[in-house]
A and B are shown apart, each in its own frame.
Chain A
Amino acid sequence: METGRLTMEEFQLVNKTDGLTISSKKKNVKESKAAEASIANCKVEIIRMDPFEMEIDFIGFNISLVNAYRRIILAEVPTMAIEKVYMYNNTSIVQDEVLAHRLGLVPLKVDPRYFEFRNKEETEWGAQDSVKYSLNVRCSKNPKAAADETNPDILYLNRKVMSSSLKWIPLGNQTDIFQEANMQPLHQDILLAKMNSGHEINLEAFAVKGIGSDHAKFQPGLAWYRLLPEIELTREVEGEQADLLQKCFSPGVIDVVTTPGGRRLAKVNDTRNDACSRNVFQYDSIKDSVKLTRKTDHVIFFVESHSALKSYEILEEAVNIMIGKCSLLLAETDKLIESSAPS
């Protein structure tokens, strides 16, 4: 089957398959068949995976499906973040709102899957939908500091308020379910405020479950994708030109091999890592020697986690949400068909 390819020309991306449109009826028939066929051709390959980052190839899928996962990760996969701050005392120079905003952006280790969404009208902080933290720090002069010390970090105790100072305060029966180690901020070294001697911060904060479309602090991580690049040499590139060509692409994309005849020829090695910078077009001498394309049905998908969810959990959650949406849609259509069908 012919796969879609985008050609990277000097000034634009061109979809070359556009010319081959088939009349709609035939196309429908063909497409449904093609769809069945393509499902068989669909492939998912995990290239790289660790709790923070993953790279996964979606081969043979329609791009809109992959995009849907990306959008869900950014907007709809829930995480926990501090939403409400009760400021009892804040004599530091960081304004209350700014401090609260900074607290909100601190990623927490709390697994959102153990929590429910909090009801907007709710006034109490329940154990099933919220996590309580307290921050209570006071900056004072360091009695052990040398007399001629000028570094304020040594001169004062608690000069820097870090995310590690956020203390988890269990609500209700939370102690039975959670361990303290799993409720702290994800990173211990996030600077929240700087203080001077005599400054004090005393606050209570409540984290809730939320989604990225509401506020960026609820985003579980970052997701994006790119299409697999392909490079095709249309003619032999030799000698200095080969070196130049090699330089125009990311390292490892083009190899220069010496043929038995002693000629140094450029050879395409691994196109996957090409950054698609299209810098060949800078050089008139070699710009005709390559055809740069990207495969539309081979999507390299990236997930980076910066929340409690691990990168693969984020994708998993996104797929679950997608499934939920699909079944909701199916249920709705079924309902519609039932109601409109003459009984």
Chain B
Amino acid sequence: MGETVPGNLVPEWADLDPNTLREPVKSIEDKWKLVPAFLRVKGLVKQHIDSFNYFINVDIKNIVKANSRVTSDVDPLFYVKYMDVRVSKPNIEEGMNIVKETAPHECRLRDITYSAPIMVDVEYMRGDHRIFRRDIPIGRMPIMLRSSNCALSECRTHTELAKYNECPHDPGGYFIIKGQEKVILIQEQLSKNRMIVEEDKKGGLTCQVTSSTHEKKSRTNVTMKNGKYYLKHNTLTEDVAIGIVFKAMGVASDQEIVQMIGTEDRIMTSFAASLEECARLNVYTQTQALKYIGNKVRQKRYFDRGPKKTPVDEARDLLATTILAHVPVEKFNFKMKSIYLALMARRVIEAQGDTRTVDDRDYYGNKRLELAGSLISLLFEDLFKKFNSDLKKKADIILGKKGKVSQFDAVQYMQSSQDAITNGLEVAISTGNWTIKRFKMERQGVTQVLARLSYISALGMMTRVNSQFEKTRKVSGPRSLQPSQWGMVCPSDTPEGESCGLVKNLALMTHITTEVDPEPIIELAFNCGVEDINLLSGEELSNRDVFLVFLNGNIIGVTRDHKRVVRVFRAMRRNTVISGFVSIYTHYKHRCVYISSDGGRLCRPYIIVTNKRPAVMEDHINKLTRGLMAFDDFLYEGLVEYLDVNEENDSSIAMYEHEIIDKTTHMEIEPFTILGVCAGLIPYPHHNQSPRNTYQCAMGKQAMGTIGYNQRNRIDTLLYNLVYPHKPLVKTRPIELINFEHLPAGHNAMVAVMSYSGYDIEDAIIINKASLDRGYGRCIVYRNAKCSVKRYANQTSDRVQGPLMQVLEGGKHKPIWKHETLDSDGLAAVGTPVLPRQVLINKQMPTVTQLSYTDEQAGRQVEFRDTPVVHKGPGSIYVEKVMLSSDPDEFNLIKILLRQTRRPEIGDKFSSRHGQKGVTGLIVQQEDLPFSDQGLYPDMIMNPHGFPSRMTVGKLMELLGSKAAALEGKFNYGTAFGGTPVKEIMEELVRHGYNYQGKDILYSGTSGEALTGYIFFGPVYYQKLKHMVMDKMHARSRGPRAVLTRQPTEGRARDGGLRLGEMERDCLIGHGASMLLLERLMISSDAFDVDVCNSCGLLGYSGWCHYCRSSASVSSIRIPYACKLLFQELQSMNIVPRLRLENYCT
């Protein structure tokens, strides 16, 4: 048992009295403290940062190494060799060769990209000299906030962060591109290089492998058709019999093929037909097979360079590099690949008649998550290749020139073409269009702007997982909650509607692995009894005594004692000999041991259980609380380990100590960690109907509150703040862990659950006016006005002018109304209220901005026209801040921060934390509201009809808990699967002389009498949602019209009309209200008087018919302008609409 004892070799119970050993396992108090310890090490967005760090420090070097040589076809002497690459610290190039280090907030304010130069060391030939140069920039890499290269990564304390104007609770993990915060969403996809046996539409079985290497991506299928097996690949025009492929790979004899696939009777019989197929096609030798395949190769497009290859060579190349690209082939030794192919065939055969071996695509172990690092690495490799090929092209051109006027300096060229990489990365991140040429991959919507509505919305975005599935497809499989997602993906947090179930959120403790070097793992495998596949013939693979060993989808060997392999690997992992993120598990159905060390696997930590005892003891937790141990120490000492989805499903995991049985291998750290960040806010979520939790997850992101300690320094396009946010009285562990307490979004409102006034139907809520007077629900909306002062090609530039003055009677000057807000510099003065249509920035632009080549204009004074930035929208707005800076194009940038304070009004939306939203139905004077024996008046009244159908018992419990918490002067917990028990809460209430059910006697505020019903009355945490009436209200009597149709414009933003649509029109027709219809559709819309000639039926003009050249039968009628437009458009396509007029009154 030596290996299974984790960490210290002397068991801790060795010197214990046997009697103490017999005691039942005590539950470890406070083992939840491991969760904050985990989060302290990992952070909430550690996946992003880890993956980016891996790219920037490791992967980028591999990429450059793999593409390190650039040569020229023209000059054999010429070469450029990249010796090393590194990404330095983020900085700003200010022009005039001034470069200074920067911090993220500066980039946000100045609309700059937060990026760092990529430096390379190169060795190259200039003329006949070999030159070595260090630190040559080849482009700029956007830097992820809080990554190893970020300025914030060195900050340890809040004060240090405050110096950079950064919020300590900001998770980082996003990029700043041109001042915009961009998140690269986690992309979920099927894992690469793994065999998946599936049933296709026709019921046939296929074994599919999507191979992916740095160079190639391809998909290979082995299918069965008419009892024969075929290889399907999209470089081949038709399916090739699998026997031929084996022969082409050099496994020419039928016996060898069968030995590799399997010598069991059942397998041999089903494979026989495939062997016959080869004979039928007259393919016996390798050359014949290669020729056969060569003729089936899909013709590549013409521009493919290089000498034409023979079909045999082409087929051999194809087999070596493209088909099953991830299986290594060295010097055309197809051994590994043929074994792999044989196994694919075997899997298909095995799956026949045994549907249990068919794999499940939606199983989460078959999924990999792609993170910012790997996505950028794909993009960077593509850009770097293009950069090199451009360099080569340039070298070819210059070196090919006869006479060689000047030497070709590669470094000079490299420095001048930095923009290719810089722009490539910048554009991809800012648009979200990921185009990778070498994989012919094009993906949209990879990035999103970080939602800064509230702290939770930003955090929620960082844990979001986007699925590659099409949203339009109505399949339920990938959308439904998979049991294997347990603990990895939040079961509640998914949007409703089209992307339901496709967009997911990570759970609290989920970690996503980054790649681990496979070499030492292979070595370890061979050292613990795995026999190298290359040393075996085919026969042993299907031996009943033997298990195949896979590493990252490739077969590395076989083993007789798979248990030992697994045991040794786990022991090594627990003793941190190999990385903790290497997973190993046995698949008994496949008779395989799978080892994974690839990136993108989901995993989460578990407490190790040995001999029915959890490894983490009370003592460890004590050390943790005293700060003597950190989470990593738990890993090093083998008390806790990471399990990925596959290994998790191979383990027996107990939830609590008392559930541990003989075969238990692990124990959960805390059950509430199966929820994500957003669902973590909900108190008592385990008592709610599940969709309610889902609704709250969506709504928590719309709640206003605080977005960060640096919120007052930000100049965002839109920012909502609560004036007096509260900490929730009933909090949860996740609330503490994610610092929601410090950046809260909501109020503890006294809520009376009763009916009042009838303005509370359909979830509407009644609000106490006095509470509003005292600041309840008061919020501040920040907006910005922005413009840049540009310079133009003809030496002119924009200018900002002071206010326009009018002269008053007394000879005094006073700015015109529009400019009343302006200071003498033409910018709105700080602190002034600005009314709609008043000017914020009085900018003027030259009328001519193009460079003219005639010197006609040269001497003339430059003329300007007004292009002011005006305050639009309802209500006055205050100027809070004016910022002057310059943007990356070195134009002056003016940003004005505007502020509006709003108090709740009828129609504003509020919601509790249980998916119970409602709009304000009525605002009531305090004296009209009911009050309790203690003189408490409610802040809000909620209709009790909200409860029976919603079944949000958690809200009832929250009310009780808050009430008790307020009376005790403490906070209660509503943590999922735990929290303060209702029984305790009731005792607290009774202790303070309140009814144990939380129901109080209330007196009517209007009649003064006691209400006959007892009212459920207490504080509930209410969120104010961003939907406010002020931003939505809209009406119009007259207003702008569209230019083309002369109909009223559409939409609130354009002060548009309210459309009388088809169905409304139908109603009017049904009522026979034809005059009303005429008024709505024409008179109030686009009535137009036209002259019609009754003899030719065409439209005339000012009483004259141009066609008839007379005014004899021209009469004037009124038609919709759109109708007139239609006639003219028809005429323009040679269709003549003619109008025939008759007397209306006959």
Contacts and interface: CB of A to CB of B under 8 A. Distances in A.
Q: Do A and B truly interact?
A: yes
Contacts of A13: 1001, 1010-1014
Contacts of B1001: 8, 13, 226, 276, 294
Interface of A: 6, 8, 11-15, 63-64, 66-68, 70-71, 74-75, 87, 90, 93, 95-98, 101, 105, 212-213, 215-217, 219, 222-227, 248, 250, 275-279, 282, 294, 296, 302, 304
Interface in B731-785: 769-771, 773-775, 778, 780
A212 B771 CA distance: 12
A278 B774 CA distance: 33
Contact of B1003 (A74, A87, A225): A225
Contacts of A15: 1012
A134 to B, nearest CB: 18
Contact of A95 (B880, B1008, B1014): B880
Contacts of B934: 224
A279 B1010 contact: no
For the complex of A and B, list the 10 residue pairs with the smallest distance between their C-beta atoms, beginning with the closest. A67-B1008, A275-B993, A216-B773, A224-B935, A216-B770, A74-B927, A71-B927, A97-B901, A226-B933, A63-B1008
Nearest to B713: A93
A279 B1000 CA distance: 11
A248 B996 CA distance: 10
Given A275-B993, A276-B933, A302-B935, A216 B769 contact: yes
B935 A66 contact: no
B878 A97 contact: yes
Interface in B905-952: 925-927, 931-935
A102 to B, nearest CB: 8
A321 B78 CA distance: 102
A170 to B, nearest CB: 28
27 contacts: A12-B1013, A12-B1014, A13-B1011, A13-B1012, A14-B1012, A64-B1007, A75-B926, A75-B927, A95-B901, A96-B831, A97-B901, A101-B778, A212-B770, A213-B927, A216-B769, A216-B926, A219-B926, A224-B932, A224-B934, A226-B1003, A275-B933, A275-B994, A277-B989, A277-B994, A279-B996, A296-B1010, A302-B935
B996 A277 contact: yes
Contact of B1008 (A66, A96, A105, A217): A66
Nearest to B993: A275
Nearest to A14: B1012
Given A64-B1007, A74-B927, 11 more contacts: A90-B831, A95-B878, A95-B901, A96-B831, A212-B926, A216-B773, A217-B773, A223-B935, A227-B1010, A250-B993, A294-B1001
Contacts of A219: 770, 926
B883 interface: no
Contacts of B1012: 12-15
Which has the most chain B C-beta neighbours within 10 Å: A95, A223, A225?
A95
Contacts of B1013: 12-13
B935 A279 contact: no
B935 A222 contact: yes
Contacts of B770: 74, 212, 216, 219
B966 to A, nearest CB: 16
A49 to B, nearest CB: 17
Contacts of B1011: 13
Contacts of A227: 1010
B990 interface: yes
B899 interface: yes
B1010 A224 contact: no
Interface of B: 712, 723, 769-771, 773-775, 778, 780, 831, 878, 880, 899, 901, 925-927, 931-935, 989-990, 993-996, 1001, 1003, 1005, 1007-1014
Nearest to B768: A216
A277 B1010 contact: no
B993 A304 contact: no
A279 to B, nearest CB: 5
Contacts of B933: 226, 275-276
Contacts of A302: 935
A294 B926 contact: no
Contact of A74 (B774, B880, B926, B1009): B926
B1007 A67 contact: yes
A318 to B, nearest CB: 11
A135 to B, nearest CB: 16
A75 B1001 CA distance: 23
B1014 A11 contact: yes
A209 B996 CA distance: 43
A64 B933 CA distance: 17
Contacts of A90: 831
Contact of B901 (A98, A212, A215, A223): A98
A75 B926 CA distance: 8
Contacts of B926: 74-75, 212, 216, 219
Contacts of A248: 990
Nearest to B994: A277
B880 A215 contact: no
Nearest to A75: B927
A93 B878 contact: no
Nearest to B772: A216
A277 B995 contact: yes
B1008 A87 contact: no
Contacts of B775: 101, 105
Given A96-B878, A224-B931, A275-B933, A63 B995 contact: no
Given A71-B1005, A95-B901, A294 B1010 contact: yes
Contacts of A222: 935
Contacts of B723: 98, 101
A130 B1009 CA distance: 39
Contacts of A304: 935
Contacts of B773: 215-217
A219 B771 CA distance: 12
Contacts of A216: 769-771, 773-774, 926
B722 to A, nearest CB: 11
A265 to B, nearest CB: 23
Nearest to B1012: A13
A296 B1003 CA distance: 12
Nearest to B986: A282
A213 B925 contact: yes
A222 to B, nearest CB: 6
Nearest to A4: B1009
Contacts of A64: 1007-1008
A107 to B, nearest CB: 12
Given A97-B901, A216-B774, A216-B926, A6 B994 contact: no
B473 to A, nearest CB: 49
A250 B1009 CA distance: 23
Contacts of B925: 74-75, 213
A95 B899 contact: yes
A217 B990 CA distance: 34
B1010 A6 contact: yes
Nearest to A275: B993
A61 to B, nearest CB: 11
A131 B780 CA distance: 29
Nearest to A217: B773
B990 A277 contact: yes
A101 B778 CA distance: 11
A193 to B, nearest CB: 13
Contacts of B1010: 6, 13, 227, 294, 296
A64 B1010 CA distance: 11
Contacts of B1009: 63, 296
A63 B1003 CA distance: 11
A86 to B, nearest CB: 12
B1017 to A, nearest CB: 13
A222 B933 CA distance: 13
A41 B1013 CA distance: 30
B1008 A70 contact: yes
B776 to A, nearest CB: 10
A157 B1011 CA distance: 54
Contacts of B878: 95-97
